[in-house]
Amino acid sequence: MTTTESVSEEFPVRFWDVGDLRGLDFDPFMDRQLREEPVSRVKLPNGEGHAWFVTRYEDVKFVTSDPRFSRQAVVGRPITRLAPHFIPLDEAVGFADPPEHTRLRKSVARSFTTRSLERLRPGAQRAADALLDQMEEQGPPADLMKHLHGPLPLAVISDLMGVPPVDRPQMAKWTNVLLSAAFTRQASEEAKEAMAGYFTDLLAARLDKPQDDLAGDLAEATTQGDLSTEEAVAIALLIQASAAHAVRNNSANMVYALLTHPGHLARLRAEPALLPQAIEELLRYIPHRNAVGIARIATEDVEVAGVLIRAGEVVHSSYLTANRDPAVFDNPHEIDFDRAHNPHLSFGHGPHFCLGSMLARLESEIILTSLIARFPKLRLAEPVEDIRWQRGALIRGPENLPVTW
């Protein structure tokens, strides 16, 4: 495998024709690659050229934590990818390598510790209670996307960031266009620019009048010389968009999984103490996204599972396939609340490990406990085939989640 010819023969470039999947169906291409060709070469619908695709648990951990695979090297390159555009601004933490990555992340890390987040719990619970009061008042059937999964994560991150209620519907619109492959490159980049403009203004307002929120912390970091304004804006944008969007979809997928696995839901009702463990298993099981997100580029020749990846080559890896690796998880395609050992990679691995993992868990806990406590007979209000799933999504989730009780 040292010559170009042998690489081409041994690793033909597979076109990954990412289609819309239904429900929580696992992408058949990902399943096949994990089982039959754990390191392969792929071409995605957008960008140029091809990339390596790494699927197994240990190999994914290696690629996402070894400093010879760089995110910074991706910036400005037309890498093969799912979306027509790049989601983060060039200065974002998602594109940074240590040590700059460490500096960028430090400016917001304090707000996302378990201890800081516990202070948000009472307010988040009150917001969930108020939303469910409205849903009950309106009566069944009701769309949980509209009543709960949409507004709650948006409210929680907006409160933390300091985005006032009047601006939240606009945030949701921009985020939907930014975090999707269904719009044109131009439309998505316009949404990103508009959002960047919004956060530039918000941070400037905090410099005039300091406030105790994430926008205030980021503004303060620019005056201390810890961050440039562009870096602070890029961090704010990534947190606001990703938090609201990821939790909206992932928490809806959790509820969908429970409503379509009534035995599991009944068990959670009977054993509420099981909830944290059940959430970890749902996080492992739910295929959070379509295809793959931001790639890395090898800065030196590196072997991955015996395959030589050359300096300059592009590497995609999948946390979804890692979560289904039978070497780590028995019966990986089954939801099993009794898994004793569940080291899933749903929040990523290495330096880019999700900043918001504890916030996402907190919100999912509030959503599931509230629904279980208030609606003993909660069930889908329409046949499962009639639920609409987002098209051209990066992060997968239902468009509507009609329930009755």
Positions touching ligand FLV (CB under 6 A) are 82-83, 87-88, 94, 179, 242, 246, 289, 293-294, 394-395
Cβ atoms of residues 37 and 58 within 8 Å: no
- Name the phi and psi angles at 304, rounded to 5: -120, 120
Shortest Å, Cβ 291 to ligand FLV: 7
* CB nearer ligand FLV, residue 255 or residue 395: 395
**Cα–Cα distance for residue pair 258/250, rounded to 1 Å:** 13
* CB nearer ligand FLV, residue 258 or residue 394: 394
**Cα–Cα distance for residue pair 280/287, rounded to 1 Å:** 13
Shortest Å, Cβ 395 to ligand FLV: 5
Shortest Å, Cβ 383 to ligand FLV: 29
* CB nearer ligand FLV, residue 40 or residue 249: 249
* CB nearer ligand FLV, residue 83 or residue 314: 83
- Name the phi and psi angles at 13, rounded to 5: -80, 120
Amino acid (one-letter) located at 11: F
Q: Which residues contact 71 (CB under 8 A, 6 or more apart)?
A: 94, 95, 96, 97, 101, 294, 296, 352
* CB nearer ligand FLV, residue 142 or residue 393: 393
Shortest Å, Cβ 243 to ligand FLV: 8
**Cα–Cα distance for residue pair 228/249, rounded to 1 Å:** 32
Shortest Å, Cβ 401 to ligand FLV: 19
Angle 165-172-233 from CA coordinates, rounded to 5°:
85
Shortest Å, Cβ 293 to ligand FLV: 2
State whether residue 231 is helix, strand or coil.
Answer: helix
* CB nearer ligand FLV, residue 364 or residue 403: 364
* CB nearer ligand FLV, residue 8 or residue 102: 102
Cβ atoms of residues 81 and 50 within 8 Å: no
Give the residue nearest to ligand FLV (CB): 293
* CB nearer ligand FLV, residue 62 or residue 319: 319
Shortest Å, Cβ 352 to ligand FLV: 7
* Omega of the bond leading into 84 within 30 degrees of 0 (cis): no
Element (H, E) at 277: helix 275-285
Which residue has tokens 């918001």? 356
Q: Of the candidates 20, 23, 52, which has an alpha carbon nearest to the alpha carbon of residue 296? A: 52
Shortest Å, Cβ 402 to ligand FLV: 25
* CB nearer ligand FLV, residue 362 or residue 380: 362
State whether residue 291 is helix, strand or coil.
Answer: coil
Shortest Å, Cβ 364 to ligand FLV: 13
State whether residue 21 is helix, strand or coil.
Answer: coil
Which residue has tokens 């429900």? 23
Cβ atoms of residues 239 and 214 within 8 Å: yes
**Cα–Cα distance for residue pair 44/185, rounded to 1 Å:** 15
Q: Of the candidates 226, 229, 347, which has an alpha carbon nearest to the alpha carbon of residue 286? A: 347
